[in-house]
Amino acid sequence: MPTSSMPTSSLPTADSDADNATSTFAAKRALRKTIKSSLSALTPDVKRSQSARVCRTVLDRGALNLIDSLPSSSAICLYLACDQLNEVDAGEILEHVFSSREDLRVYLPRVLDRDSNMHFLRVYGHDRYDVVPPFGIREPTLVGRDGVAREDVLGEAGLAVVFMPGLGFGKGGE
């Protein structure tokens, strides 16, 4: 019977997989703490400048072409930045969509419960928003200006593009 030439000491084990997962989790936690600390130290002017830079980069590097190439009535989802969470303000992207593509359906998230389950509710231009504690996140109201319950994309056709906030990304976008 053939035997493996690989020494058994180099074979992965359940313990080594668990150790690697624990190590990766600890490294991610430390990196998140460092990023949060760095973001908290930024002045409001720097945050605005960096948000504008991110939006310009997104619009200049293909997202604009992607958005402009979507068929009529396509649906996209964006988010409203939360200052307290130091998120990139994607308002410039939202404004671009509202000013250049009136035929697109735009949705923003609204958290449903403590488990962060969400609705994605349709919005129109400069709409009404609730400010939701504890972070002061702006979310679309459940009822639009016309007094009618907002359309939820989860009950409709899918989304063509989703813009999501993130704490940090690698150079490859991961």
Higher pLDDT, 45 or 4: 45
- In the three-class reduction of DSSP (H, G, I as helix; E, B as strand; rest coil), residue 43 is classed as coil
In the predicted structure, residue 1 carries a pLDDT above the cut 50: no
pLDDT in tens, 38-52: 888 989 899 889 889
Q: What is the pLDDT of residue 156?
A: 66
Number of Cβ within 10 Å of residue 119's Cβ equals 19
For the range 94-100, what are the long-range contacts, defined as Cβ-Cβ under 8 Å and sequence gap of 24 or more?
A: 96/59, 96/64, 96/67, 97/67, 98/125, 100/67, 100/68
Higher pLDDT, 5 or 75: 75
In the predicted structure, residue 118 carries a pLDDT above the cut 60: yes
In the predicted structure, residue 138 carries a pLDDT above the cut 80: yes
CA distance 117 to 112: 5
H runs (alpha helix) in the chain: 14-40, 44-58, 64-69, 91-100
Token representation of residue 33? 């703490």
The pLDDT of 135-145, averaged and rounded, is 86
- Residue 56: C-alpha distances to residues 1, 51, 118, 151 (Å): 63, 9, 28, 29
pTM for the model: 0.73
Altogether, the residues listed in the chain come to a count of: 174
Q: What is the pLDDT of residue 13?
A: 59
